Amino acid sequence: MDARLVILLERAATVPEAQAALRYAVTAAAMDVAVEVHAVGASVALLRRDHADADWRSALDELLELGAQLYACPHALAGQGMRPEDLRDDVAGVRGAASLLAAGLAPGGRFMVF
């Protein structure tokens, strides 16, 4: 059974709020755990291609280099007035609740919510 960590960014809508989630994501990915980070609600703005915080963009780059995947919720994008084209090029996709739940409920899957 392969371990998978699904991190849900729900209330963590700013860089300071999301930094703890990123620390866990990077640590798990460095331990060869498959990591998915799903941004919902206002947190989808953290995945903007033009996000103003260079340190945040760099931290996401580090996470992605370790093999983690980033996903954005389609309803959250619409709610924030964003489109998929507004996301970083390295966002793995736009996924809804069913995909998030399937990943976390699969054998070996675990959720963390921030």
80 Cβ contact list (under 8 Å, min separation 6): 42, 44, 45
Per-residue pLDDT tens over the stretch 34-88: 999 999 999 999 999 999 999 999 999 999 999 999 999 999 999 999 999 999 9
Mean pLDDT of the chain: 97
Query: Would you say residue 1 has pLDDT above 90?
Result: no
- Does the domain at residues 13-93+109-113 carry the CATH identifier 3.20.20.140? no
Break the chain into its structural domains and give their ranges: 13-93+109-113
Torsion angle defined by CA atoms of residues 66, 62, 29 and 70, in that order, rounded to the nearest 10 degrees:
-90
Q: What does the alpha-carbon distance between residue 43 and residue 67 come to, in Å, rounded to a whole number?
A: 21
